[in-house]
Amino acid sequence: MSSRQSLWAWLLVLMFLVTALPVVAQETDPSTISDDQVNAVAHEMYCPVCENVPLDVCPTAACDQWREEIRILLAEGKTKDEIQTTFVARYGDRVLGTPEDPTLRTLSLVTPWLVGIVALAGASLVIWRWRKSRLLPAASTTLSEPHSEDEYRDRLERDLMARR
């Protein structure tokens, strides 16, 4: 092998090494992760201290620490589901708004809708019956024979005379 060929071979190896350096440096600095990226994950999680306060808007120190931990995990390349699974493993299902168990999750999401539908059906039935009962007496008086004013006056006078 001539010196010119070995020089080209070394240049080729050097070129491959230089192009491979960015691949090695793929680890992201946590400071490059934006607050929007952190809040996208934190929005579906809840504060460990406050009751029913989403993690992305909670002002407590515990939530600040959790958001910083989410930032670090995002910098490591973890996905939203992996981060949520990590938090659930450490703190339990209360971290998320819905349970992790698929049966419980379905039940907790479907139950309010079912209760609403049953309540709406019950209210509709009550209103329908109420309207039906209000319409029946009016319909029965229109079907009977109309009374004249003279008949009412005569009956009233007879009743008054009977009281004396």
Predicted local distance difference test score (pLDDT) of residue 15:
72
Mean pLDDT of 94-111: 78
More confident residue, 137 or 26: 137
**CB of 100 within 8 A of CB of 88?**
yes
32 DSSP 8-state letter: G
Phi, psi values for residue 63, rounded to 5° = -70, -35
**Beta-carbon count within 10 A of 70 CB:** 27
Query: At 24, is the pLDDT very low, low, confident or very high (cuts 50, 70, 90)?
Result: very low
What Å distances lie between residue 40 and 53, 65, 72, 144, 146, CA to CA?
15, 16, 14, 71, 74
Predicted local distance difference test score (pLDDT) of residue 142:
52
pLDDT one-digit tens code per residue, 103-136 = 877 888 889 999 999 999 999 999 999 888 877 6
CA dist., res. 11 & res. 9, Å (int): 5
In CATH terms, 26-97 corresponds, of 3.30.470.20, 1.10.8.640, 3.40.1670.10, 3.40.50.720, to 1.10.8.640
Predicted local distance difference test score (pLDDT) of residue 141:
52
Mean pLDDT of the chain: 80
Could you tell me which residues are beta bridge partners of residue 96?
A: 45
Residue 98 tokens, joined: 């819905």
Closest to 53 in 3D by CA, of 82, 81, 100, 95:
95
Predicted local distance difference test score (pLDDT) of residue 137:
59
**What distance lies between CA 13 and its chain's CA centroid?**
54
More confident residue, 118 or 90: 118
Predicted local distance difference test score (pLDDT) of residue 25:
47
Domain extent listing, the chain: 26-97, 99-142
pTM (2 decimals)?
A: 0.47
Q: Give every CB contact of residue 100 below 8 A, 6+ residues apart in sequence.
A: 88, 93
